């Protein structure tokens, strides 16, 4: 197996290399990041507009992901000063407007938080999603693809949601911190959910290095993470981030149970299954905390955010459905195709 080359940018911090561009927009962003901020030499200029780029396509989603990643671990050999460089932030804002507008177009909207949450609590008896497929008929190579794609988020699990903490107050804040404490292993590094996911990757002979499969991940996967980052980085979208978090915690236990069964069927040992078995138990508790204390506390103090909470719920479901459509469309085609942009 060939491992991606990674480099240290600071003691204890390992950053992945810049990805390969997927179009003119991401090519311009990546080329710019290879320079030093303020470099007076002639070099690539950022596009003046994002017009013509598909808001959910490979090019814009990668360019947006790269901009957001500067707020996480950054990239090897990319100057940290780029994180707050005004011209790059301006382009990021333009991409965010296109992304958000595209999301809104595909959503019913509204401000009925209780109704949106209730829909999540009842799973259709004929549900036929990714976890059902992998549990029943999926192959090991498809499981590896799924885990590689999900690593784009799960190796930084709970980090986007942590940005909402200083934007909350009172009961909502205290409850969300309690959930995040569990996500980070309850103070035990080896129990952090990101660490458990890395263990799963190792059991599947995948590279557990942070960002190792960015080039392989399709736009449908990048969009789910970009949505979290966008909501988390903007105080204005704190309600949407809470709505997103509620979806994750409410829908996780049954899907995690199916994934644990899929792993067992495909010969993955107990160490690899712990990521999902942990979520079966933990998220069943988190669901109640999110509904009662986080959403309830937020709307008690800021009832005007109800429509934003619904937006977060609906956008999360919409993008997860798009990802499932991509995965299952590839796997169920005749002949079956890989869902990855490049071989793992």
- Quickly state the pLDDT bin for 14 (edges 50, 70, 90): confident
pLDDT at res. 11: 42
* 113-121 and 306-331 helices, crossing angle to 10°: 30
* Other beta carbons less than 10 A from residue 118's beta carbon: 10
- Quickly state the pLDDT bin for 89 (edges 50, 70, 90): very high
Which of these, 59, 54, 127, lies nearest to 328 by C-alpha position? Answer: 127
DSSP 20: P
DSSP code string of 47-106: PS--TTS-TTSHHHHHHHHHHHHTTTT--TT--GGGGG-HHHHHHHHHHHHHHHHHHHHT
Q: CB within 8 A of 16, min separation 6: which ones?
A: 4, 6, 73, 75, 76, 209, 210, 211, 212, 214
Q: Write down the pTM of the prediction.
A: 0.93
CA gap 93, 4 in Å, rounded: 30
Tokens representing residue 176 in the block: 């969300």
- Quickly state the pLDDT bin for 44 (edges 50, 70, 90): low
Residue 14 φ/ψ, nearest 5 degrees? -110, 125
- Structure confidence by residue, pLDDT tens digits, 191-244: 999 999 999 999 999 999 999 999 999 999 999 999 999 999 999 999 999 999
Domain limits, the chain: 19-104, 111-331
- Structure confidence by residue, pLDDT tens digits, 123-173: 777 788 999 999 999 999 999 999 999 999 999 999 999 999 999 999 999
Classified by CATH at the fold level, domain 111-331 comes out as: Heme Oxygenase; Chain A (1.20.910)
pLDDT at res. 235: 98
């Amino acid at each position: 197996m060939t491992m991606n080359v990674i480099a240290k940018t600071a003691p204890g911090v390992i950053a992945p290399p810049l990805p390969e561009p997927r179009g003119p927009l991401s090519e311009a962003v990546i080329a710019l990041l290879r320079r030093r901020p303020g470099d007076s030499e002639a070099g690539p200029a950022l596009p003046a507009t994002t017009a013509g780029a598909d808001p959910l396509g490979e090019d814009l989603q990668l360019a947006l992901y790269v901009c957001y990643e500067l707020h996480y671990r950054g990239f090897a050999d990319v100057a940290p000063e780029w994180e707050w460089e005004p011209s790059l932030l301006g382009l990021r804002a333009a991409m965010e407007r296109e992304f958000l507008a595209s999301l809104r177009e595909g959503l019913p909207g509204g401000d009925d938080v209780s109704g949106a949450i209730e829909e999540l609590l009842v799973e259709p008896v004929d549900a036929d999603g990714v976890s059902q497929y992998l549990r029943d008929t999926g192959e090991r190579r498809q499981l590896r693809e799924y885990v590689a794609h999900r690593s784009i988020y799960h190796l930084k699990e709970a980090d986007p949601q942590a940005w909402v903490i200083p934007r909350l107050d009172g009961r909502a804040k205290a409850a969300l911190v309690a959930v995040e404490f569990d996500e980070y292993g309850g103070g035990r590094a080896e129990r952090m959910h990101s660490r458990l996911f890395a263990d799963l990757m190792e059991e599947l002979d995948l590279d557990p290095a942070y960002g190792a499969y960015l080039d392989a991940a399709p736009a449908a996967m990048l969009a789910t993470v970009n949505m979290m980052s966008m909501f988390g980085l903007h105080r204005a979208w704190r309600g949407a981030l809470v709505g997103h978090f509620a979806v994750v915690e409410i829908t996780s236990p049954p899907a995690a149970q199916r994934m644990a069964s899929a792993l067992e069927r495909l010969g993955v040992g107990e160490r690899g299954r712990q990521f999902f078995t942990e979520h079966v138990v933990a998220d069943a508790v988190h669901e109640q905390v999110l509904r009662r204390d986080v959403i309830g506390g937020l709307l008690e103090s800021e009832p005007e955010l109800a429509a934003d909470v619904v937006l977060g719920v609906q956008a999360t479901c919409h993008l997860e459905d798009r990802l499932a459509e991509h995965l299952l469309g590839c796997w169920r085609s005749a002949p079956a195709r890989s869902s990855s942009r490049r071989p793992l």
